[in-house]
Amino acid sequence: MMDLNVKSVKDFVFELSSKSPTPGGGGASALAGALGIALGGMVANLTIGKPKYADKEDEMNALKVAAYRLQKELIDLIGKDADAFGPLAGAYRMPKGTEAERTSRARIMEASMKEASLVPLEMMKKCAESITLLEIFAEKGNILAVSDAACGAVLCKAAMQSAWLNVTANTVSIKDKDFAERVNAEGRRILDEYTPRADALYEKVEIGFKR
């Protein structure tokens, strides 16, 4: 399998528009989240070293490290999402002519769908953590870059919502209903808490520009 993480932006976008099943919505979600938190790193770098924000220097340095970590983790999830889809695609092609074949196919599909639901759930968690950081960047970072923090929150919100669709696209077919319900509950909790927070940051910054 090709390493999606080392493709150029141009190649990735063209690959995304092709008939290849990967990258797909999951990979695009992870990339959007990485771009969102990268804007948080930008705010940190535009704050660090400025005399006006000298009292925020240590905090911004720590936040920058956290933002870079999340950026890397979200980029890594692009490849993990593609890797999780591979076994599921293979399972769909498995023979199902005999009872033994159907049983084997169902077992592999179930395991594959579980894994394919957990990767986008992890994206949601990273995006939620990113939104928390972006709130701080907007509050304490360089005021000239506050719009970048808000843009980051918008991207992370979109990434979180699209990752959620990838979670539910898999859990709807999982036979282990306890597992599916736990995954769905966690995803819904993240969505319900962090969507309004991203919206609030966006609205706060937008209102500020109207004054």
Q: Which residue has the higher pLDDT, 89 or 163?
A: 163
For residue 52, give every residue at least 6 positions away whose Cβ sits within 8 Å of its Cβ, in sequence order, or none. none
Residue 209 pLDDT exceeds 80: no
Q: How many helices (H) and strands (E) does the chain have?
A: 6, 0
d(CA 23, CA 15): 7
**Alpha-carbon span 117 to 40, nearest angstrom:** 27
Sorted by where each starts, the structural domains of the chain and their CATH numbers stand as 22-209 (1.20.120.680)
Per-residue pLDDT tens digits for 120-152: 999 999 999 999 999 999 999 999 999 999 999
**Percentage above 70 pLDDT, the chain:** 96
Instruction: Name the residue type at position 14.
Output: F
pLDDT confidence tier of residue 2, bands split at 50, 70 and 90: very low
Render pLDDT for 38-80 as a digit per residue (tens, 0 to 9): 999 999 999 999 999 999 999 999 999 999 999 999 999 999 9
Quick count: other Cβ atoms within 10 Å of Cβ 103? 11
Task: Please give the helix or strand (H or E) that residue 22 lies within, else none.
Answer: none
